[in-house]
Structure 1
Amino acid sequence: MAFPTARHDHSACIQAALDAAEQECRRRGARLTDTRRIVLELVWESHRPVGAYALLESLGKLGRSAAPPTVYRALDFLLAHGLIHRVASRNGFIGCPHPGHAHGGQILLCTQCGMAAELDDPALDQEIVNSAARLGFSVNRQTIEVEGLCPVCRAQRNSEEEQNYVA
Protein backbone atom coordinates (compact mmCIF):
# COMPACT_ATOMS: atom_id res chain seq x y z
CA MET A 1 0.00 0.00 0.00
CA ALA A 2 1.67 3.18 -1.16
CA PHE A 3 0.73 6.65 -0.02
CA PRO A 4 -2.28 7.75 -2.08
CA THR A 5 -1.70 10.18 -4.90
CA ALA A 6 -4.03 12.89 -6.21
CA ARG A 7 -5.37 10.37 -8.78
CA HIS A 8 -6.06 7.72 -6.13
CA ASP A 9 -9.47 6.06 -6.64
CA HIS A 10 -10.33 5.47 -3.00
CA SER A 11 -13.64 3.69 -3.67
CA ALA A 12 -11.77 1.17 -5.83
CA CYS A 13 -9.14 0.88 -3.09
CA ILE A 14 -11.80 0.04 -0.50
CA GLN A 15 -13.57 -2.39 -2.83
CA ALA A 16 -10.31 -4.20 -3.62
CA ALA A 17 -9.59 -4.53 0.12
CA LEU A 18 -13.07 -5.91 0.81
CA ASP A 19 -12.83 -8.35 -2.10
CA ALA A 20 -9.41 -9.54 -0.90
CA ALA A 21 -10.80 -9.95 2.64
CA GLU A 22 -13.73 -12.02 1.38
CA GLN A 23 -11.36 -14.21 -0.61
CA GLU A 24 -8.98 -14.67 2.34
CA CYS A 25 -11.84 -15.54 4.70
CA ARG A 26 -13.18 -18.12 2.22
CA ARG A 27 -9.68 -19.59 1.88
CA ARG A 28 -9.43 -19.91 5.67
CA GLY A 29 -12.99 -21.14 6.15
CA ALA A 30 -13.76 -18.03 8.23
CA ARG A 31 -16.85 -15.88 8.11
CA LEU A 32 -16.67 -12.18 7.33
CA THR A 33 -19.91 -11.15 9.04
CA ASP A 34 -21.70 -7.89 8.22
CA THR A 35 -20.27 -6.23 11.32
CA ARG A 36 -16.72 -7.39 10.56
CA ARG A 37 -17.06 -6.24 6.97
CA ILE A 38 -18.35 -2.81 7.98
CA VAL A 39 -15.56 -2.39 10.54
CA LEU A 40 -13.01 -3.36 7.88
CA GLU A 41 -14.55 -0.88 5.45
CA LEU A 42 -14.36 1.86 8.11
CA VAL A 43 -10.70 1.02 8.76
CA TRP A 44 -10.04 1.43 5.03
CA GLU A 45 -12.06 4.67 4.85
CA SER A 46 -8.88 6.69 5.11
CA HIS A 47 -5.22 5.88 4.90
CA ARG A 48 -4.75 6.97 8.51
CA PRO A 49 -4.77 4.77 11.60
CA VAL A 50 -8.24 4.70 13.16
CA GLY A 51 -9.00 3.85 16.78
CA ALA A 52 -11.67 1.54 18.16
CA TYR A 53 -13.78 4.34 19.62
CA ALA A 54 -13.70 6.28 16.35
CA LEU A 55 -14.94 3.09 14.68
CA LEU A 56 -17.68 2.80 17.29
CA GLU A 57 -18.72 6.39 16.60
CA SER A 58 -18.75 5.76 12.84
CA LEU A 59 -20.92 2.68 13.32
CA GLY A 60 -23.37 4.84 15.27
CA LYS A 61 -23.48 7.38 12.45
CA LEU A 62 -24.35 4.52 10.10
CA GLY A 63 -27.30 3.68 12.35
CA ARG A 64 -25.72 0.50 13.66
CA SER A 65 -25.84 0.24 17.41
CA ALA A 66 -22.74 -1.45 18.74
CA ALA A 67 -20.99 -1.67 22.07
CA PRO A 68 -17.20 -1.49 22.49
CA PRO A 69 -16.88 -5.29 22.85
CA THR A 70 -18.51 -5.72 19.42
CA VAL A 71 -15.92 -3.47 17.80
CA TYR A 72 -13.05 -5.10 19.67
CA ARG A 73 -14.22 -8.58 18.69
CA ALA A 74 -14.41 -7.49 15.04
CA LEU A 75 -10.92 -5.96 15.26
CA ASP A 76 -9.56 -9.12 16.92
CA PHE A 77 -10.99 -11.21 14.06
CA LEU A 78 -9.57 -8.87 11.41
CA LEU A 79 -6.14 -8.91 13.10
CA ALA A 80 -6.15 -12.69 13.53
CA HIS A 81 -6.88 -13.16 9.84
CA GLY A 82 -4.25 -10.68 8.67
CA LEU A 83 -6.75 -8.18 7.25
CA ILE A 84 -5.55 -5.23 9.33
CA HIS A 85 -2.47 -4.14 11.27
CA ARG A 86 -2.38 -2.55 14.70
CA VAL A 87 -0.45 0.71 14.84
CA ALA A 88 0.57 0.79 18.50
CA SER A 89 2.00 4.32 18.52
CA ARG A 90 -1.30 5.72 17.24
CA ASN A 91 -3.51 3.27 19.19
CA GLY A 92 -5.24 2.50 15.93
CA PHE A 93 -5.53 0.19 12.96
CA ILE A 94 -4.86 0.30 9.24
CA GLY A 95 -5.92 -2.07 6.49
CA CYS A 96 -3.48 -4.69 5.26
CA PRO A 97 -3.08 -4.63 1.48
CA HIS A 98 -1.53 -8.12 1.50
CA PRO A 99 -3.98 -10.46 3.28
CA GLY A 100 -3.09 -14.10 3.00
CA HIS A 101 0.56 -13.25 2.43
CA ALA A 102 2.70 -13.94 5.51
CA HIS A 103 4.72 -10.83 6.22
CA GLY A 104 5.93 -8.57 8.96
CA GLY A 105 4.43 -5.16 9.19
CA GLN A 106 6.61 -2.20 8.38
CA ILE A 107 4.35 0.81 8.67
CA LEU A 108 5.39 4.24 7.44
CA LEU A 109 3.65 7.05 9.35
CA CYS A 110 3.61 10.69 8.21
CA THR A 111 4.11 12.92 11.23
CA GLN A 112 2.56 15.88 9.43
CA CYS A 113 -0.70 14.62 7.88
CA GLY A 114 -1.12 11.29 9.68
CA MET A 115 -1.23 9.15 6.54
CA ALA A 116 0.12 5.62 6.77
CA ALA A 117 1.46 3.14 4.24
CA GLU A 118 2.69 -0.40 4.56
CA LEU A 119 6.15 -1.28 3.37
CA ASP A 120 6.34 -5.01 2.66
CA ASP A 121 10.05 -5.82 2.58
CA PRO A 122 10.71 -9.58 2.95
CA ALA A 123 14.47 -8.97 3.16
CA LEU A 124 13.93 -6.71 6.18
CA ASP A 125 11.63 -9.31 7.77
CA GLN A 126 14.29 -11.99 7.28
CA GLU A 127 17.10 -9.81 8.59
CA ILE A 128 15.16 -9.23 11.81
CA VAL A 129 14.51 -12.98 12.17
CA ASN A 130 18.20 -13.75 11.50
CA SER A 131 19.48 -11.07 13.89
CA ALA A 132 17.07 -12.20 16.60
CA ALA A 133 18.13 -15.84 16.10
CA ARG A 134 21.77 -14.86 16.66
CA LEU A 135 20.63 -13.71 20.11
CA GLY A 136 18.72 -16.93 20.70
CA PHE A 137 15.37 -15.24 20.18
CA SER A 138 12.53 -16.68 18.11
CA VAL A 139 10.33 -14.09 16.38
CA ASN A 140 6.59 -14.81 16.39
CA ARG A 141 5.38 -11.51 14.97
CA GLN A 142 6.90 -8.16 14.14
CA THR A 143 5.60 -4.70 13.47
CA ILE A 144 7.91 -1.80 12.80
CA GLU A 145 6.60 1.75 12.83
CA VAL A 146 8.67 4.35 11.01
CA GLU A 147 7.87 8.05 11.31
CA GLY A 148 8.71 10.63 8.68
CA LEU A 149 7.08 12.61 5.89
CA CYS A 150 4.91 11.21 3.11
CA PRO A 151 5.66 12.32 -0.47
CA VAL A 152 3.00 15.05 -0.44
CA CYS A 153 4.11 16.57 2.87
CA ARG A 154 7.76 16.25 1.88
CA ALA A 155 7.11 18.09 -1.40
CA GLN A 156 5.11 20.74 0.45
CA ARG A 157 7.95 21.24 2.95
CA ASN A 158 10.53 21.46 0.12
CA SER A 159 8.36 24.03 -1.67
CA GLU A 160 8.02 26.10 1.51
CA GLU A 161 11.78 25.93 2.08
CA GLU A 162 12.42 27.09 -1.52
CA GLN A 163 10.00 30.01 -1.05
CA ASN A 164 11.72 30.98 2.19
CA TYR A 165 15.11 30.76 0.50
CA VAL A 166 13.97 33.03 -2.38
CA ALA A 167 12.37 35.57 -0.03
Structure 2
Amino acid sequence: MTHKILKKISDYCEDNKLRLTAPRAEVLKIIASSKKPLGAYEILEKLNKVFKNPKPPTVYRSIEFLQKNNFIHRIESLSAYVACDIDHLHNNCQFMICDDCGNVIETHQCEIPQYIKDYAIKKTFKPSRWNFEIHGVCAECN
Protein backbone atom coordinates (compact mmCIF):
# COMPACT_ATOMS: atom_id res chain seq x y z
CA MET A 1 0.00 0.00 0.00
CA THR A 2 2.80 2.43 0.89
CA HIS A 3 4.43 1.87 -2.52
CA LYS A 4 1.12 2.61 -4.31
CA ILE A 5 0.65 5.83 -2.37
CA LEU A 6 4.22 6.96 -3.02
CA LYS A 7 3.93 6.15 -6.75
CA LYS A 8 0.63 8.01 -7.08
CA ILE A 9 1.98 11.06 -5.28
CA SER A 10 5.28 10.96 -7.15
CA ASP A 11 3.37 10.93 -10.46
CA TYR A 12 1.11 13.73 -9.25
CA CYS A 13 4.11 15.86 -8.25
CA GLU A 14 5.81 15.25 -11.58
CA ASP A 15 2.65 16.13 -13.53
CA ASN A 16 2.14 19.30 -11.49
CA LYS A 17 5.79 20.40 -11.32
CA LEU A 18 6.02 19.91 -7.54
CA ARG A 19 9.28 18.84 -5.86
CA LEU A 20 8.96 15.60 -3.94
CA THR A 21 12.34 15.74 -2.22
CA ALA A 22 13.91 12.74 -0.50
CA PRO A 23 12.94 13.97 3.01
CA ARG A 24 9.36 14.67 1.87
CA ALA A 25 9.10 11.22 0.29
CA GLU A 26 10.51 9.57 3.40
CA VAL A 27 8.14 11.46 5.71
CA LEU A 28 5.28 10.35 3.47
CA LYS A 29 6.50 6.73 3.63
CA ILE A 30 6.72 6.91 7.42
CA ILE A 31 3.19 8.29 7.75
CA ALA A 32 1.70 5.94 5.14
CA SER A 33 3.26 2.84 6.69
CA SER A 34 2.06 3.62 10.20
CA LYS A 35 -0.96 1.82 11.62
CA LYS A 36 -1.86 4.90 13.67
CA PRO A 37 -1.56 8.68 13.34
CA LEU A 38 1.94 10.00 14.03
CA GLY A 39 3.01 13.24 15.66
CA ALA A 40 5.88 15.32 14.27
CA TYR A 41 8.42 14.10 16.82
CA GLU A 42 7.46 10.47 16.24
CA ILE A 43 8.08 11.09 12.55
CA LEU A 44 11.42 12.74 13.38
CA GLU A 45 12.44 9.72 15.44
CA LYS A 46 11.70 7.36 12.53
CA LEU A 47 13.35 9.72 10.03
CA ASN A 48 16.51 9.55 12.14
CA LYS A 49 16.87 5.90 11.07
CA VAL A 50 17.07 6.96 7.40
CA PHE A 51 18.82 10.34 7.41
CA LYS A 52 21.75 11.40 9.54
CA ASN A 53 20.65 13.72 12.33
CA PRO A 54 17.49 15.26 10.79
CA LYS A 55 16.18 18.40 12.48
CA PRO A 56 12.57 19.26 13.38
CA PRO A 57 12.30 21.93 10.62
CA THR A 58 12.90 19.19 8.03
CA VAL A 59 9.91 17.27 9.35
CA TYR A 60 7.72 20.36 9.69
CA ARG A 61 8.54 21.58 6.16
CA SER A 62 7.81 18.11 4.78
CA ILE A 63 4.53 17.91 6.68
CA GLU A 64 3.58 21.39 5.44
CA PHE A 65 4.22 20.40 1.80
CA LEU A 66 2.37 17.08 2.13
CA GLN A 67 -0.58 18.66 3.92
CA LYS A 68 -0.80 21.66 1.56
CA ASN A 69 -1.09 19.26 -1.37
CA ASN A 70 -3.63 17.05 0.45
CA PHE A 71 -1.34 14.00 0.52
CA ILE A 72 -1.75 13.72 4.29
CA HIS A 73 -4.35 14.88 6.80
CA ARG A 74 -3.88 16.36 10.25
CA ILE A 75 -5.94 14.76 12.98
CA GLU A 76 -6.50 17.89 15.05
CA SER A 77 -7.57 16.18 18.27
CA LEU A 78 -4.36 14.10 18.31
CA SER A 79 -1.94 16.65 16.80
CA ALA A 80 -0.94 13.84 14.45
CA TYR A 81 -0.96 12.95 10.76
CA VAL A 82 -2.33 10.18 8.55
CA ALA A 83 -1.86 9.51 4.85
CA CYS A 84 -4.77 10.42 2.63
CA ASP A 85 -6.81 7.54 1.29
CA ILE A 86 -5.11 6.27 -1.91
CA ASP A 87 -8.07 7.19 -4.13
CA HIS A 88 -8.28 10.79 -3.01
CA LEU A 89 -6.22 13.95 -3.26
CA HIS A 90 -8.57 16.31 -1.46
CA ASN A 91 -9.46 18.03 1.74
CA ASN A 92 -12.66 18.25 3.80
CA CYS A 93 -13.11 14.64 4.80
CA GLN A 94 -14.25 13.09 8.03
CA PHE A 95 -12.40 10.81 10.43
CA MET A 96 -13.56 8.11 12.82
CA ILE A 97 -10.85 7.58 15.45
CA CYS A 98 -10.68 4.54 17.72
CA ASP A 99 -9.80 5.61 21.25
CA ASP A 100 -8.50 2.11 22.07
CA CYS A 101 -6.16 1.18 19.19
CA GLY A 102 -5.69 4.57 17.49
CA ASN A 103 -6.93 3.36 14.10
CA VAL A 104 -8.30 6.14 11.88
CA ILE A 105 -10.98 5.54 9.27
CA GLU A 106 -11.22 8.26 6.63
CA THR A 107 -14.71 8.85 5.24
CA HIS A 108 -16.13 11.02 2.50
CA GLN A 109 -19.73 11.86 3.19
CA CYS A 110 -20.25 14.44 0.46
CA GLU A 111 -23.43 15.85 1.97
CA ILE A 112 -21.66 16.91 5.17
CA PRO A 113 -19.39 19.55 3.54
CA GLN A 114 -22.36 20.99 1.63
CA TYR A 115 -24.48 21.07 4.77
CA ILE A 116 -21.73 22.90 6.64
CA LYS A 117 -21.27 25.42 3.80
CA ASP A 118 -25.03 26.05 3.58
CA TYR A 119 -25.28 26.52 7.34
CA ALA A 120 -22.25 28.84 7.38
CA ILE A 121 -23.81 31.00 4.65
CA LYS A 122 -26.96 31.35 6.75
CA LYS A 123 -24.80 32.58 9.63
CA THR A 124 -22.81 34.88 7.28
CA PHE A 125 -19.65 32.91 7.95
CA LYS A 126 -17.16 31.86 5.29
CA PRO A 127 -15.22 28.72 6.31
CA SER A 128 -11.69 28.39 4.95
CA ARG A 129 -11.08 24.87 6.26
CA TRP A 130 -12.67 22.44 8.64
CA ASN A 131 -12.05 19.12 10.30
CA PHE A 132 -14.70 16.63 11.35
CA GLU A 133 -13.61 13.93 13.81
CA ILE A 134 -15.62 11.30 15.65
CA HIS A 135 -14.01 9.44 18.54
CA GLY A 136 -15.22 6.02 19.63
CA VAL A 137 -14.32 2.34 19.47
CA CYS A 138 -13.74 0.44 16.22
CA ALA A 139 -15.18 -3.00 15.42
CA GLU A 140 -11.82 -4.66 16.13
CA CYS A 141 -11.71 -3.28 19.67
CA ASN A 142 -15.42 -3.47 20.46
* TM-score past 0.5 threshold: yes
Is the 8 Å Cα contact of residues 20 and 99 (structure 1) preserved in structure 2? Answer: no
How far is 1:24 from its partner? 2.3
Matched, 1:78 2:82: no
Match of 2:82 in 1: 94
Question: Which sections of structure 2, spanning at least 5 residues, go unmatched?
Answer: none
Say how many residue pairs are matched: 141
**SS of 2:33's equivalent?**
coil
* Aligned equivalent of 2:108, options 99, 120, 133: 120
Match of 2:36 in 1: 48
Q: Distance in 1 between matches of 2:129 and 2:118?
A: 13
Is the 8 Å Cα contact of residues 103 and 122 (structure 1) preserved in structure 2? Answer: no
Q: Distance in 1 between matches of 2:121 and 2:45?
A: 43
How far is 1:153 from its partner? 1.1
Partner letter of residue 60 of structure 1?
N
**SS of 1:153's equivalent?**
coil
Q: Distance in 2 between matches of 1:26 and 1:124?
A: 32
Matched, 1:58 2:51: no
* Aligned equivalent of 1:138, options 115, 126, 136: 126
* Aligned residue runs from structure 1 range 8-23, under 5 A: 13-23=1-11
Q: Distance in 2 between matches of 1:77 and 1:103?
A: 14
Is the 8 Å Cα contact of residues 21 and 99 (structure 1) preserved in structure 2? Answer: no
Is the 8 Å Cα contact of residues 39 and 74 (structure 1) preserved in structure 2? Answer: yes
Match of 2:94 in 1: 106
How far is 1:63 from its partner? 4.3
Q: Percent identical across equivalent pairs?
A: 31
Gap change, CA 1:146 and 1:40, over 3 Å in 2: same
Max radius of gyration: which structure? Answer: 1
